[in-house]
Chain A
Amino acid sequence: MRAVVIKDLTAIRRSKGVLIPMITVPGLLLVILPLLIGLAARNHAAPNVDGILRSVPEGVARPITQLPEAQRLVVLVNGYLLAPLFLIVPLMVASVLAADAFAGEKERSTLESLLHLPISERDLFYAKVLGAFLPAVLVSWIGFVLFAVVVNTTAWPVMHRVFIPTKLWLVMIVWVAPAVAALGLGVMVRVSARAKSTQEANQLGGAVILPLIFLAVGQSTGLLLVTLPLAVGAGALVWLVALVLATGGARRFTRDRMAAAI
């Protein structure tokens, strides 16, 4: 199983078509955007966010309105509004890579050679899942470290303290983001096994992944408002669904089905 994961990771590392979106999208969301916000907040003419605060849930607005006015934009945007983006990153990276897992092998005419190797169906399936899961989590974690560095550095003149990560942020990054990646994978690997090409897998999977993205975006800000045990519980629920999908996928995955579709 390890060798299949190594093969996939090596191939990802060598493929500019996969690597560039994997770096640029999280780079834009997690580095460039907070950098611009941080710089805007340092400016004396930083926009007043009181109007926005009136339209966000009271649970979010109350602690922010208690802060000095200069800190409000930074905390509102970097502390809360960018949170959904963190869940988009693992979901997006995992989905892109998982779409390629089997459909890409079919497209490159490498699937048959792979099926002729002595590796159990279960190991092959989980190797493909891991080959997408590891980069997705790695990109999310590296992205988060860069995000924290950028946000704390640019906001330092305003905040005078390290305000990210909070405990809830850590739960999001360490527990919820990998769960969301696994959820995307649970869906996309199964789609990829049925699709004839990566493009078809992306199209078919998009119909499933997009609602998941909206759900993640909708819920993640709220997740930062709940208590630590609730956030852990929400992550556990996502993990559970992801594991059910993955184990179900592994059970249904057979060489015969794959070979018959070549």
Chain B
Amino acid sequence: MKRRSESIRDKLLPAGAFLLILGIWWVLSLTGWIPQYMLPSPVDVVKAFIADFPNLMSHAWVSVEEALIGLAIGTALAFALACGMDRFLNLEKAVLPLLVASQTIPTIAIAPLLVLWMGFGVAPKIALVVITTFFPIAVGLLDGFKSADADAVALLRSMGAKRGQIFRHVKFPAALPYFFSGLRISASYAVVGAVISEWLGGFEGLGVYMTRARKAYAFDKMFAVIFLVVIVSLVLMRLVTLLRTVSMPWMGKAKKEREA
């Protein structure tokens, strides 16, 4: 009983904070204290969202598609590389510093280059999403493999388990929570990555829509896109959490037992 009221409170608090901020925002724009071009009123934003809904959706679909394909390729690559690095220590020594360094390259600088190499289609956008989503997953997985219980590995080995079996029964399950943490971060980057790459040349997508709105000084539309990007990213992150619960039911159970 007590737990139930707690969970309701946990949901009410952020909702209340959100409504409070929305209220302050609304009052500020209603009184004209902040001009519309600096901060359009929430009502204007909602109106723009509704008025331009079909257009927004068709652009959003393009961005989401790029984000999902990029995320899938990024995940697959990260998984392959992390397994390789776990298997061959020399590979890890050689590649990991490069990986870390690659994350310090400003995306805004390489996006135009990608367009130059791959043209105006979806390829450079997907490539940019792959680059941004790849890293958190690869590093997460690598840490996860290392976190595997050394005693369990030793036990299996003493029982004559092969490398593949150890991987399947000890290392992989141990790495899953790390993998999903990485995937959650990557999912939140994916849509933003797609939008940034669309800024720099393209005909469709939320980034293109944003650029057009900016050039037309349509600030209500700008904010409508910002909210759409936030919503889509949150949905994507929620999906990752769901996937995690489905693929690791024991984690959910363990958590509940601990709480009880």
Query: Are A and B interaction partners?
Result: no
| Chain A residues with a Cβ under 8 A of chain B | none
> What residues make up the interface of B, taking CB atoms closer than 8 Å to A?
none
